[in-house]
Amino acid sequence: AVGGAYAGSTAARAIATHLAKSGSDRAHEEVRMRTSGMTEQEIKEAEELARATSAKYKSISTTEIMHTARNIRAVVG
């Protein structure tokens, strides 16, 4: 029972850490988008695209796609 409780708390801590890091990375990317001159509408569209693409291709994170969208915008406008 003690081993199960320890494993459960370890798993819960790992999940919480992952979620906190993901949220932090995403907020950081949003700041970078604003700093690069993207409008709120462009950021919203990039987030929607990132969520849809990440849902379809699980190995690519939303933050990675947002980063790529920001870089593409810098190149092609």
Classify 3 as helix, strand or coil: helix
Domain count, the chain: 1
The residue segments making up the domain with residue 41 are 24-77
Residue 9: inside a domain, yes or no?
A: no
* pTM of the shown model: 0.66
Inside any domain, residue 10: no
Residue 17 within any structural domain of the chain: no
Judge whether 4 lies within some domain.
no
Residue 55 is assigned to a structural domain of this protein: yes
Q: pLDDT digit of tens for each residue in the chain (77 aa)?
A: 556 666 666 767 777 676 666 678 888 899 999 999 999 999 999 999 999 999 999 999 999 999 999 999 989 87
